[in-house]
Structure 1
Amino acid sequence: MIKIYHNPRCKKSREGLAILEESGKDFEIIKYLDEVPSKEELKSILNKLKISPIELVRTQEKIWKENFKGRSLSDSELIDALHEYPKLIERPIVVNAYKAAIGRPPEQIKGIF
C-alpha cells in the first residue's frame, strides 16, 4: 500500500496528494503532524529514501533555527529531533513498498509507482 506523509497546510503536499489521487492507485494518507512517525518508522523512511537524516530536515523552519542551527548532531539526535518536532520533516513523503520519494517537486512521486 502506498502511503503519503501529508501536511494539508502545505501547497507541495497538496500537489503531491493530487498526483496520487489522479494515479488511481490505492493509498493511505498519514497526517504526520497528528500521527507522528515513530523513530523506527523514520529510520525506515530514510532507508527507503536512501538519504541521511539531515537531508530530511526543513532547515528553514523557525524550530530548527532556534534549537538546532549551528549544532553538530549525530544521525540519532537528528532522528530524535524529527520525532519530537515533526514540523521539521520535509514533505510530502510518499512510500511504496521498498521505495520512497520526497515530493519536491511533486512530480518526483510518480517515479515510485
Structure 2
Amino acid sequence: MITIYHNARCGKSREGLKLVEESNQEFEIVKYLDTPPTETELKEILNKLGYKPSELIRTNEAIWKENYKGKTFTDDELITIMVENPKLIERPIVINGNKAVVGRPPEKIKDIL
C-alpha cells in the first residue's frame, strides 16, 4: 500500500496526491500536521528516503528561522524538532514498500508508483 504524507494547504502536496490518485493503486493519506510521525516512524521514513534529517527540514519556515537557524543539532535532535514541529517536514512524502520520495517536483513520485 502507498502512503502519502500530505498537507492539503500545500500546492506541491496536492499535485502529489493527484498523481497518487491517478495511479489507481490503493493508498492512505496521512495528514502529518494533524498526526505527526513518531520519532521511530520518522527514522524509518528517513531510511527509506536515504536522507539525513537535515535534508528533510524546511529551513525557510518561520519556525526554523526564529528558533533553530544557525544552531548545531545532532540527527536525533533534528528528528525531535521535526516531530514537535511537523510543519518543518518537507512535503509531500510518498512511500511505496521500501521506497520513498519527496515529491519535489511532484513528478518524482512517478518513480515509485
Runs of 5+ unmatched residues, structure 1:
none
Q: Deviations over 1:62-89 (max 9, x none)?
A: 0000110000100000000000000000
Matched, 1:32 2:32: yes
Deviations 1:55-111, CA, capped at 9 Å, x for gaps:
000000000001100001000000000000000000000011100000000000011
The corresponding residue for 2:101 is 101
In structure 1, the partner of 2:65 is 65
In structure 2, what is the Cα distance between the partners aligned to 1:21 and 1:76?
A: 34
How many equivalent pairs are there? 113
**Structure 1 length-normalised TM:** 0.99
Q: Report the 3-state secondary structure (helix = DSSP H, G, I; strand = E; otherwise coil) of the residue aligned with 1:101.
A: strand
| CA distance in structure 2 between the aligned counterparts of 1:24 and 1:97, rounded to whole angstroms | 16
Q: Distance in 2 between matches of 1:42 and 1:9?
A: 21
Structure 2: distance between partners of 1:30 and 1:103? 15
Runs of 4+ displaced beyond 4 Å: none
Q: CA deviation at 1:16?
A: 0.1
Return the letter of the residue paired with 2:36.
V
Q: List runs of 5+ in structure 2 lacking aligned partners.
A: none
- State how far apart, in whole Å, the 2-side matches of 1:50 and 1:94 are: 13
Distance 1:94 1:74 in 2: 25
What is the 5 A alignment of 1:1-113?
1-113=1-113
Shift of 1:29: 0.3
* Cα offset, 1:22, TM superposition: 0.7
Q: Distance in 1 between matches of 2:59 and 2:71?
A: 12
**Residue identity matched to 2:63:** I
